[in-house]
Structure 1
Amino acid sequence: MTIDPTFPVIHWTDGAAEPSARWRSEAGVVPPRRVVLADDRMTADAAYRQASEGVALLWRGDYQNARQLLQAMARRIDRKPRKPPAAPLDAFNAHRQAQAQRARTLGMLLIPLDADYSIPLRRAPDVKEACREVYGDADARGGESSVVSLRELLGLIGAHEWRKKGVEIAALGARIHPYYGVFSPVRGEYVELVARARLPSRALAFDIGTGTGVLAAVLAKRGLARIVATDADARALACARENVGRLGLTEQIQISEADLFPPGRAPLVVCNPPWLPARPSSPVEHAIYDPDSRMLRGFLGGLSAHLEPGGEGWLILSDFAEHLGLRSREALLDMIDAAGLKVIGRDDIRPVHPKAADLSDPLYRARAAEVTSLWRLGVK
């Protein structure tokens, strides 16, 4: 085995030997400081106690037993749900803190991967394709074995299944296939807003932060002659290109790498930025959290320079952040005004996702009050 020195390495003791392997974490988790071997003899109480103390457990037993152990550890964490604070912002911060602690504890159960991404454990599934989609070609990494959190590996497997199955989009009459780490259009209300809004032009549109390419595809299906869809994330760009190709829309949609705007102006510029102005705790959360509203401010600040005279900017944004106390409506309107923009109109829609009706959710009040809006903006 050859260990790539540019990647983190973890070490453990196995009898008189001191093996090591590459540490993998798409969530950006640092390698655990202490690793011990564990197998089918370990009880859930012992595993939970050690994981809570920051000791990682490298599994050497049956794979399916490891999954059951992870579920048992999760039940111990969830056994005593805490009463959320009354203030929405306090409830949000407490919820994120609890979720982060839960992820850290459950992330301590580790699974080995061979150089070809096979799992050298009894009753282990074939995860090679799921790993290749996220980690890349195994051969390109020089044939090294590695270790990954079982919780994170299950996330990769779930993302692989979503990528194969796809998400049905009513406005397209087809499916969008999201990649791991690219925001999945499972919440259809924001797509419906774009599908029903009055078009200012059918000549050209910019789709800023395209992600899976779903909004660009909806605009193409509505008859726009040309859409330039941008993103700064390599995985999102690959995902959008695949979806556009799968839908047969490559003649209408151009996928371009850009921080925000492509060169030039358009009569329609669309953006669905992350809705929550908070710091992501891992790279895969950048589709949800927008620190200091950087993408929102960037879109608003650059919109007037990329709109044709009389054109419209469509800002798709939930007011979830307002109900959590993360941003006020007045602050949003001030951002729009400071960017030299005016509100031409607004179309609202209520969420239909299950959490909006889940009374046990600590953020239920904010979710139940949430409204997603398409803000039609023009230059003053």
Structure 2
Amino acid sequence: MIQPAILQWEDGGQTHSAKWHSENGIAPHKKIQVADDTLTADIAYRLACEGTAMLYKGDFQNARQLLQALVRRVDKPSKKSTRVDRVSKEKTKSPLDTFNLHRLAQSQRARILGMILIQVNADHSISLRRAPDVARACSQAYGEQSGSYVISLRELLGVISAHEWRKTGVQVLTRDDEEVRIHPHYGVFSPVRSEYIDLVLKAPLPSAIKQSSLAFDIGTGTGVLAVVLALRDIHKIVATDLNERAIVCAQENMNHLGLNSQIEIQKVNLFPEGKAALIVCNPPWLPARPSSLLEHAVYDPESQMLRGFLVGLKEHLLTNGEGWLILSDLAEYLGLRTRAELLNWIEQAGLKVIARLDTKPTHQKAFDKADALHAARSKEVTSLWRLAAK
């Protein structure tokens, strides 16, 4: 049994301790200073840059304001480099260099902004002035606790935000003038990019569906694509995932939408047993190493899930069945994967491309010229690859 990480700090001449929790996998901080409302943003920023975490004991809303002040300081352009110098450097960088530097900058930013800490009681309450009621949000994210624990304020705000998403849900489509909403859980990728959902709605169903109305949804996450397939009148869908949070989330969404008899959720790696007329997979789009538990929906190290799906697809397809691979080509523009590599993996798996449906992303970052990856994002195309056995 894995022992929980323990955080220790000095306060009033006494040593205190509590369980340390970090979704980013950050080890317990060694240097901790108790802070209150007298701490200025400039001093807090210096301490954070030096590697000293601050356990906040003052007013909760003041702690939030302090975090916002740190954000402004972290995101402020450096005076050491002129605009001309920056433009010159940008021209000499490769897309892969730009991506790696962006990831490094994001990691450093997260490290600094994660230095403000909050202690949460075993019942998920917070003993600070003007602290919000976060018990339900934290209970949903972390489950029951036997004692108090410490997390970064930034992570706590993420938990609160995820709770609001879970309550209100995300509208994915309209059926008979009624909204169909998916309710994402903390740690499960939210289906906010609607373009890939539209592709699954529009792609022609394979002829094999007429003989066997069975589909698999590989790596279901919130269950959104399984729901879309169900609304396309496929009689039976088996949705799989390995992430326990995803399994719980998908099952809750099926319960909410009344689709339990049509959609079965299984905790397995990639494919369930048997063969299907249609197998859908929307793997993480970027072949890079995730730096936290929450990034596994975005980053697929060495394209492991993508390649696993392609390798196993043929043996799980019925005659005249199809595999639908939903994938962005952003990785190609970032220098992380080439189109030739993807086509070679498809060929080696004994598959052929029947057709490809393309669409352009509509999310905000695709149009944000200030984004470090805008050059690649502006060219991005999301595709649904219709694959079949040779």
Q: Same fold (TM over 0.5)?
A: yes
Residues 344 and 378 in structure 1, CA contact (< 8 A), matched pair in contact too: yes
Secondary structure of the structure 2 residue equivalent to 1:158: helix
Which stretch shifts more, 297-306 or 5-14? 5-14
How far the C-alpha of 1:60 sits from its partner, in A, is 0.7
Structure 1 residue aligned with 2:22:
25
| 1:227 matches 2:234 | no
Structure 2 residue aligned with 1:240:
250
| 1:166 matches 2:166 | no
| 1:60-75 paired onto structure 2 within 5 Å | 60-75=57-72
Structure 2 residue aligned with 1:16:
13
Structure 1 distance, partners of 2:2, 2:173, is: 48
Out of 142, 156, 160, the position equivalent to 2:159 is: 156
Q: Deviations over 1:109-150 (max 9, x none)?
A: 00111111111100000000010001102xxx32x1111100
Out of 47, 50, 61, the position equivalent to 1:50 is: 47
How far the C-alpha of 1:171 sits from its partner, in A, is 5.3
Structure 1 distance, partners of 2:300, 2:51, is: 29
Structure 2 distance, partners of 1:233, 1:291, is: 16
Residues 350 and 371 in structure 1, CA contact (< 8 A), matched pair in contact too: yes
| 1:38 matches 2:35 | yes
Secondary structure of the structure 2 residue equivalent to 1:12: strand
| 1:117 matches 2:162 | no
Secondary structure of the structure 1 residue equivalent to 2:240: strand
How far the C-alpha of 1:15 sits from its partner, in A, is 2.1
- TM-score, structure 1 length as denominator? 0.96
Q: 1:215 to 1:12 in 2, by over 3 A?
A: same
Structure 2 distance, partners of 1:368, 1:126, is: 41
Structure 2 residue aligned with 1:190:
196
Residues 358 and 364 in structure 1, CA contact (< 8 A), matched pair in contact too: yes
How far the C-alpha of 1:6 sits from its partner, in A, is 1.4
Structure 2 distance, partners of 1:17, 1:339, is: 62
Q: Deviations over 1:331-351 (max 9, x none)?
A: 000010011100010000000
Question: Structure 2: which 5+ runs fail to align?
Answer: none
The one-letter code of the counterpart of 1:42 is L
Could you list the structure 1 runs, at least 4 aligned residues long, displaced by more than 3 angstroms after superposition: 81-86
Q: 1:353 to 1:121 in 2, by over 3 A?
A: same
Which stretch shifts more, 105-114 or 171-180? 171-180
Structure 2 distance, partners of 1:316, 1:93, is: 24
Structure 2 distance, partners of 1:315, 1:346, is: 9
Residues 171 and 191 in structure 1, CA contact (< 8 A), matched pair in contact too: no
Residues 268 and 314 in structure 1, CA contact (< 8 A), matched pair in contact too: yes
Out of 279, 282, 297, the position equivalent to 1:287 is: 297
Q: 1:5 to 1:345 in 2, by over 3 A?
A: closer
Q: Deviations over 1:128-178 (max 9, x none)?
A: 0010001102xxx32x11111000000000000000010011255311000
Percent identity of equivalent pairs: 60
Which stretch shifts more, 330-339 or 9-18? 9-18
Which stretch shifts more, 127-136 or 198-207? 198-207
Structure 2 residue aligned with 1:326:
336
Structure 2 distance, partners of 1:5, 1:58, is: 25
Aligned length: 373
| 1:99 matches 2:124 | no
Secondary structure of the structure 1 residue equivalent to 2:29: coil
The one-letter code of the counterpart of 1:150 is L
Residues 9 and 23 in structure 1, CA contact (< 8 A), matched pair in contact too: yes
- TM-score, structure 2 length as denominator? 0.94
The one-letter code of the counterpart of 1:125 is P
Q: 1:147 to 1:378 in 2, by over 3 A?
A: same
Structure 1 residue aligned with 2:268:
258
The one-letter code of the counterpart of 1:236 is A
The one-letter code of the counterpart of 2:123 is D
Out of 215, 237, 252, the position equivalent to 1:205 is: 215
Structure 1 residue aligned with 2:96:
89
